[in-house]
Amino acid sequence: MNKFVEKESDFSNMVNARLSRRGFLMGTAAAGVGAFLALNPVAEAIAGNMNSALLNFEAIPTSTSDSIVLPKGYSWNTLMSWGDPIFANAPKFNPNGKQDSKAQALQFGDNTDGMSVFSLSNDRAILAVNNEYTNYEFLFAHQGKEMTADDVAKAQAAVGITIVEIVRKNGQWMMDSAGKANRRITANTEMEVTGPAAGHDLLKTKADPTGKKVLGTFNNCANGETPWGTYLTCEENFNDFFGSEQNAELTPDDKRYGIKAEQSDYQWHNFDDRFDVAKNPNEPNRFGWVVEIDPNDPTSTPLKRTALGRFKHENAALVVNDDGHVVVYLGDDERGEHLYKFVSKDKYQEGNNATNRNLLEEGTLYVAKFTMKDDKLEGEGQWLELTYGKNGLTKESGFNSQAEVMIFARRAATQVGATTMDRPEWVAVHPDKKHVFCTLTNNKYRGVKEGQDVDGVNPRAENHYGQIVRWESTNGDHVSDTFQWDLYLIAGNPTVHKDNLYAGSDNINKDNMFNSPDGIGFDKAGRLWIQTDGNYSNKGDFAGQGNNQMLCGDPNTGEIRRFLTGPIGCEITGLTFSEDQKTMFVGVQHPSGHFPQGGNSKPRSTIVMVTKDNGSVIGS
């Protein structure tokens, strides 16, 4: 045991002496005078009531089966699986792994992740969905062992975004291969760079001396959407797609973003020089951004929004502040990285979308610093501005421009003293537009690596269960540079651990426990849907937790119930609803058994649709 872990035990003892597990959440709720609840009259009114008025379904047990399981009265269907043709002229999926790049470019991409529905009418909508990465063991008959140039082109066509129109017939949504909006955006689609880093020397390459025209997007993890009708897709582990067989001089910044000059699993650099960091050292700087896409116009050019910073973006949770500023909350999913907030320079103008379309081009980026109050797992927070010339972001500390602050946002965050977090994944804003939630999925380095000491918001060493933090900006103003926070839940295993924080917070019990919360989103009624991407061994610390799953939380009472369990090997990720909230779209990523077709079929990443048998709103 190292000194950090010892320190954590002291901390846990201290916390547990002060607060029983019940004391933590219930104490805050029952008193109704906690900093958080005092700001929330709705929560105050029903605080302490564990018979949630929001959760109207019977919780289901865990599962290790190779299927989807739902509560009584619910059913599921598949919308699309990897390889399904999305154009009338596209070839049908062939499971033999021998279809070429041209076929894949006309089919649904692999590894479905974040997605949004844009309603066109009652029974027609556009679905934009991320295809995060691809599984060579299923993509190719040779499983990636005998790659060719066309195989790399096929892998590049299997990632990015899929946009399709969906129609509802007889109460059932389906993909419309004749939809006018249907489009594939891949690792080779031309994009424009906008904002402070556009045209900077660090973004220039031999193929693009302007530093403003980038080909493609990949490792598109989760997403966001804007009130002006655009889709936001977030570039996460882009580093995995770069490599080299040659010696390349990597900078400390390259290393912090995980860039390596070695053989990469995807092998793109062997056939496409763009991905060889020895030959094109600036190409990785052109990834790690949030990309804004107009899903209505299949000829539109996607825009990389550099004002939102470069890091391993998880999702983009946008809220229009009362004063009209657009605020976007952003997680950087890496152990010990940070949580960010973007505030637009200009204000949203209802109905003036020509102007609104530029709101993400210019603004201010901030990074969060959390402080704990009175040894409790709650406290105050500060948003630290990442603007060149402020907070020590100067030439003396190695920054020469706002462009550099954005390109190396991680280093800027360290410079200003941001809190290192347990892997910030999705952020979601409650429909009251005041309360914001973020999943901190897990972090085996907490309390182990220097700079990642245990603290109030990341309260456990070697945290392999995760937690969800929530905050409210001071006076409900998202532009304010201070906020109040607490932990909505601490995931854990109360059947393995007793009387310490590894058992989880008081709203976690043997019937609803899980690990590694990742995707989260609210429905219109304020139910918090929680998806997991964790350890599904069902053994040891994870005994009794089963396959990855989706739960539903009542943010007012703290109650959590399991709603869905996924098939073997998958993570559940990606969540959106039809406009009437009667169909829920859920992503099943990288299943490893035989989902969804069963038998001896090849597993395929799939979007499933959940409906209630009586046709009413999901969760109601």
Binding ligand FEO (rule: CB under 6 A), the pick from 126, 153, 159, 221 is 221
Region near Ca ion per CB under 5 A, out of 195-203, 318-326, 380-388, 424-432: 424-432
Per the DSSP assignment, residues forming a β-bridge with 333 are: none
Region near Ca ion per CB under 5 A, out of 266-274, 302-310, 425-433, 458-466: 425-433
Provide the greatest CA pair distance for the chain: 66
> Is residue 410 a contact partner of residue 296, using CB atoms and an 8 Å limit?
no
Cβ of residue 466: shortest distance to Ca ion, in angstroms? 9
Q: For residue 79, what are the CA distances in angstroms to 108, 144, 167, 283, 585?
A: 11, 28, 11, 35, 8
Cβ of residue 549: shortest distance to Ca ion, in angstroms? 13
Cβ of residue 443: shortest distance to Ca ion, in angstroms? 11
Cβ of residue 534: shortest distance to ligand FEO, in angstroms? 12
Residue 508 binds which entry of Ca ion, ligand FEO, none, with Cβ cut-offs from 5 to 8 Å by kind? Answer: none
Cβ of residue 221: shortest distance to ligand FEO, in angstroms? 3
What gap in Å lies between CA 463 and CA 469, rounded to an integer? 14
> Is residue 307 a contact partner of residue 329, using CB atoms and an 8 Å limit?
no
Residue 132 binds which entry of ligand FEO, Ca ion, none, with Cβ cut-offs from 5 to 8 Å by kind? Answer: ligand FEO
Binding ligand FEO (rule: CB under 6 A), the pick from 8, 66, 84, 236 is 236
x/- string (CB under 5 A) for Ca ion, residues 49-88? Answer: ----------------------------------------
Burial of 420 (0-12, 13-18, 19+ CB in 10 A): buried
Binding Ca ion (rule: CB under 5 A), the pick from 110, 151, 518, 554 is 518
Instruction: Using the minimum distance from each CB to Ca ion, give the nearer residue, 294 or 425.
Output: 425
Torsion of CA 453, 454, 456, 460, to 10 degrees: 160
Q: How many amino acids of this chain bind Ca ion (CB under 5 A)?
A: 4
Q: Is the dihedral of CA 205, 208, 211, 217 positive or negative?
A: negative
Q: How many amino acids of this chain bind ligand FEO (CB under 6 A)?
A: 6
Q: For residue 512, what are the CA distances in angstroms to 49, 139, 505, 565?
A: 17, 35, 12, 12
CA-nearest of 604, 617, 546 to 97 is: 604
Q: Scanning the structure block, which residue is given the tokens 């116009």? A: 297
Residue 332 binds which entry of Ca ion, ligand FEO, none, with Cβ cut-offs from 5 to 8 Å by kind? Answer: none
x/- string (CB under 6 A) for ligand FEO, residues 248-287? Answer: ----------------------------------------
State which of positions 298-327 bind ligand FEO (CB under 6 A). Answer: 314
Cβ of residue 239: shortest distance to ligand FEO, in angstroms? 13
**Is residue 132 a contact residue for ligand FEO (CB under 6 A)?**
yes
x/- string (CB under 6 A) for ligand FEO, residues 101-130? Answer: ------------------------------
**Is residue 333 a contact residue for ligand FEO (CB under 6 A)?**
yes
Residue 283 binds which entry of Ca ion, ligand FEO, none, with Cβ cut-offs from 5 to 8 Å by kind? Answer: none
Q: Is the dihedral of CA 434, 435, 439, 443 positive or negative?
A: positive
Instruction: Using the minimum distance from each CB to ligand FEO, give the nearer residue, 333 or 523.
Output: 333
Q: Is the dihedral of CA 251, 252, 255, 256 positive or negative?
A: negative
What gap in Å lies between CA 316 and CA 225, rounded to an integer? 8
> Is residue 565 a contact partner of residue 63, using CB atoms and an 8 Å limit?
yes
Residue 337 binds which entry of ligand FEO, Ca ion, none, with Cβ cut-offs from 5 to 8 Å by kind? Answer: none
Instruction: Using the minimum distance from each CB to ligand FEO, give the nearer residue, 236 or 559.
Output: 236
Torsion of CA 76, 603, 574, 300, to 10 degrees: -110
Instruction: Using the minimum distance from each CB to Ca ion, give the nearer residue, 66 or 533.
Output: 533
Cite the beta strand spans of 388-546 per DSSP E: 424-429, 435-440, 467-473, 482-490, 517-522, 528-532
Kindly state the tokens that stand for 524: 């219109």
CA-nearest of 282, 258, 251 to 332 is: 258
Binding ligand FEO (rule: CB under 6 A), the pick from 361, 425, 455, 559 is 425
**Is residue 235 a contact residue for ligand FEO (CB under 6 A)?**
no
Which amino acid is present at 247?
N
Instruction: Using the minimum distance from each CB to ligand FEO, give the nearer residue, 66 or 236.
Output: 236
- Cα of 25 vs its chain's centroid, Å: 26
State which of positions 522-551 bind Ca ion (CB under 5 A). Answer: 533
What gap in Å lies between CA 272 and CA 615, rounded to an integer? 50
Instruction: Using the minimum distance from each CB to ligand FEO, give the nearer residue, 234 or 259.
Output: 234
Residue 272 binds which entry of ligand FEO, Ca ion, none, with Cβ cut-offs from 5 to 8 Å by kind? Answer: none
Non-local (6+) Cβ contacts of 209 within 8 A are: none
Which residues are at the interface with Ca ion (CB under 5 A)?
A: 425, 441, 518, 533
Which residues are at the interface with ligand FEO (CB under 6 A)?
A: 132, 221, 236, 314, 333, 425
